[in-house]
Amino acid sequence: GNSVTQMEGPVTLSEEAFLTINCTYTATGYPSLFWYVQYPGEGLQLLLKATKADDKGSNKGFEATYRKETTSFHLEKGSVQVSDSAVYFCALSDNAGNMLTFGGGTRLMVKP
């Protein structure tokens, strides 16, 4: 079956540092890939997505590139802010687009 593996957290960074959160996946066919963010006490929000190989999703300064050759979708941001502190989830959809499979989540803590 499909699976998503994320680096374990927490990841602690100082403000303006560079962020990478690794995500690799196992899936058959050509899934779509997503990053979701969960702020404390809230539900998940879609951060960005990519639907085919080599696509780059981007939003709010975050980027991730769909790499089929390495089955990866790493999340990056050039300069993090305290307000980016949250839990980040990598996810993929099955080929039919009916189901989402999530990784375990990575908590990011940004210190002033």
Partner 1 sequence: EAQVTQNPRYLITVTGKKLTVTCSQNMNHEYMSWYRQDPGLGLRQIYYSMNVEVTDKGDVPEGYKVSRKEKRNFPLILESPSPNQTSLYFCASSLRRVGTSGSNEQFFGPGTRLTVL
Positions that interact with partner 1 (CB under 8 A): 4, 6, 31-32, 41-46, 49, 51, 89, 91, 93-105
Closest contact distance (angstroms) between CB of 103 and partner 1 is: 5
Asked if 26 and 83 count as a contact pair (C-beta separation under 8 A), the reply is no
Residues 6+ apart with CB under 8 A from 74: 20, 21, 22, 23, 64, 65
Nearer to partner 1, 19 or 47 (CB): 47
Shortest distance in whole angstroms from residue 106 CB to partner 1: 10
Q: Which is nearer to partner 1, 10 or 78 (CB)?
A: 10
- Closest to partner 1 by CB, 14 or 99: 99
Place of tokens 């980016």: 84
Number of neighbouring beta carbons within 10 Å of residue 64: 27
In the complex, the smallest distance separating the C-beta of residue 88 from partner 1, rounded to whole angstroms, is: 11
Q: Could you give the CA distance from residue 90 to residue 79 in angstroms, rounded to a whole number?
A: 20
